[in-house]
Structure 1
Amino acid sequence: MNFIYLANINNLSWSVLQDQKKILSHSAQLDIEKYKFEQDKCRSLVGKMLLLYSLQCHEQLQQSHLPIIDYGLYRKPFIHSMKGHFNISHSHDWVACVYSSNGEVGIDIEHIKPVNIIDYQDVMTGNEYQRALNNPNFDFFQLWTLKEAIMKAQGQGFYLSPSSFELPFPFYNDEIVEINHTRWFVYSQSFANEYKLSLASLYPIVENVQVIPLQLDQFWQ
C-alpha cells in the first residue's frame, strides 16, 4: 500500500516552524540551516515532519524524533530501521511524502506553469519531443513528474538520464515502465488545481494508494 501525505506551506513562516527542528538530529538541523531562503528551510523540514508522522502511523514509532537518514550510492535517502520505504518531494506551496509497504517507491510533484517545450528537449526521447510539439493532448508535467518519480524510485536520480527511457502515450495509470530489468508501475494525478503528482512503485498503484492532505498543526511537536 502507498500512503501519500501532503501539506501546504503557503503562509507558513520559518519563525513559526523552526522550533520543530527538534525532531531532527543536530547534524540534520545544521543541514536545514544551510538553505539560503526560509521557504526552502520550511519545505525541507516539513518533508521530515511528514516522514516522522508516517513512521508513527505505519511502523508504530514511539519516539518524537526522526531516526537518522542515510543515503545510498546515488544519494537516495533511506532509514536502516524502517520496514517500509519512503520518498519526499516538494514544489512551490506543497510538500509530499509517500510511505510504501510494497518496496521501493518514488514520488514527484510539480507546480504547473507555462513552459517552452523547446527548453526541455534534452529530457525527452525523440518520440516524446515530437508529441510535445504536435499533439494537443500531450501533458508535459505529467511526463516530467512520471520520469522523475521513476528516476527516484530506481535510486539513481539524474544519474539515470530522463531521455534514456520512454513513457507510453497515451498514458494510463498502472502502466509499466521497465528500467534496467526492473518493472515500475506508474501513476499520475492532478491536485490543488495547479499541481501534478506522480508515483512509481514495484506493485500496482491504482487500488493501493491513499492521498491524505494534512494540517501541520495536527501533528505539531
Structure 2
Amino acid sequence: MNALEKVYSDENYEIFVFAIEQNSSMVDTSIIPNEQLDKIQKYKQDIDKIKRYLARTFLFEHCAKKYGLKDFSFIYTNKKRPKFKHSKVDFSISYSKNLIAVALSTNATVGVDIEFMEPSIVSKSIAAEFMNTIQLSKFNTLTKKDRDNYFYKMWTSKESLLKAMGDGLYINPKTVTNEIGDFFYFKDYIISFTKTNLRNTNHG
C-alpha cells in the first residue's frame, strides 16, 4: 500500500489509515470471496465499490501476513455485523472522503469511525439529531472552534461504539454515551476508536 499510516499499535490493537485515490491500483479482487464481491457490486457508484475493494484487499493481505489467515469468509452476528469465519481477529472499517480507517484486535471487539472535520456542516440542528439534551446543552455553550471539535468527537465516538457493538441500525445515537473511546487526529480528520469485551457469538 502507498500512503499507508499506522496511527496506533500495541500488542492487541492496530489502527491504519490510507488514501483511496493513491492506493486504488493496489486493489486485488482475487483475494476477496465471491459472496463479498457480489455484495460490493450492488453499489451504484464506482467510488463506493473501489473503497470497499481496497479496504478488503488491505485487511485480508494484512491478516494473511501477520496472522496467517487464509480463509477470508465472513459470518454475521444477529445484528448483521461481519466477522471472520475462522479467526478471532476482529476488525472495523470506516470511510470518509479520500481516507479509509481499519482497526484490528485479537482480544476484543473493536469499532472505528473516521470523519473529515468540515466546519460548515456543524450546526445546532444537526447536533440535535445525535446528541442528547445534556450533550447539546454543552455544545451550545462552547466557542466556535471548541464547538466544532466537540461536534465531531461526539459524532465519531458514538459511531465507533455502535460499530463495535453492531448496533448501528438499531439504537438511537442520542442514547449513546461513549466514555471508553480513544481519539486520534490525522490531518483534517478525526478518528475515534472503541474496544469492548462484547463478543456476540450468535450468528444469523
TM range (shorter): 0.7 to 0.9
C-alpha deviations, 1:38-76, integer Å up to 9, x for none? 111111111111211331233122x4xx51112211121
86, 100, 107: which is aligned to 1:81?
Answer: 86
Decide whether aligned partners of structure 1 residues 55 and 12 sit closer, same or farther in structure 2, where only a CA change above 3 A counts.
Answer: closer
In the alignment, structure 2 segments of 5+ residues that lack a partner are: 1-11, 198-204
8 A contact 1:105–1:152 mirrored in 2: yes
Task: Please report how far the alpha carbon of residue 165 of structure 1 lies from its aligned counterpart in structure 2 after TM superposition.
Answer: 2.6
User: For residue 196 of structure 2, what is the aligned residue in structure 1?
Assistant: 202
C-alpha deviations, 1:158-210, integer Å up to 9, x for none? 3122111335xxxxxxxxx3xxxxxxx3101110x21110111137xxxxxxx
8 A contact 2:20–2:98 mirrored in 1: yes
Task: Please report how far the alpha carbon of residue 119 of structure 1 lies from its aligned counterpart in structure 2 after TM superposition.
Answer: 2.2
- Tell me which amino acid in the other structure corresponds to 2:113: D
| CA distance in 2: counterparts of 1:147 and 1:163, whole angstroms | 9
63, 88, 98: which is aligned to 2:103?
Answer: 98
Task: Please report how far the alpha carbon of residue 29 of structure 1 lies from its aligned counterpart in structure 2 after TM superposition.
Answer: 1.5
- Tell me which amino acid in the other structure corresponds to 2:42: K
User: For residue 38 of structure 1, what is the aligned residue in structure 2?
Assistant: 46
User: For residue 8 of structure 1, what is the aligned residue in structure 2?
Assistant: 19
| CA distance in 2: counterparts of 1:54 and 1:103, whole angstroms | 18
| CA distance in 2: counterparts of 1:46 and 1:157, whole angstroms | 23
In the alignment, structure 1 segments of 5+ residues that lack a partner are: 168-176, 178-184, 204-221
- Tell me which amino acid in the other structure corresponds to 1:93: N
CA RMSD between the two structures: 1.9
The 4+ residue runs of structure 1 with deviation greater than 4 A are none
| CA distance in 2: counterparts of 1:105 and 1:135, whole angstroms | 30
Give the number of equivalent residue pairs: 180
- Tell me which amino acid in the other structure corresponds to 1:103: A
Q: Does 1:117 align with 2:120?
A: no
Secondary structure, aligned partner of 1:83: coil
Q: Which has the higher helix share?
A: 2
User: For residue 201 of structure 2, what is the aligned residue in structure 1?
Assistant: none
Q: Does 1:188 align with 2:188?
A: no
**TM-score using structure 2 length:** 0.80
Task: Please report how far the alpha carbon of residue 17 of structure 1 lies from its aligned counterpart in structure 2 after TM superposition.
Answer: 5.8
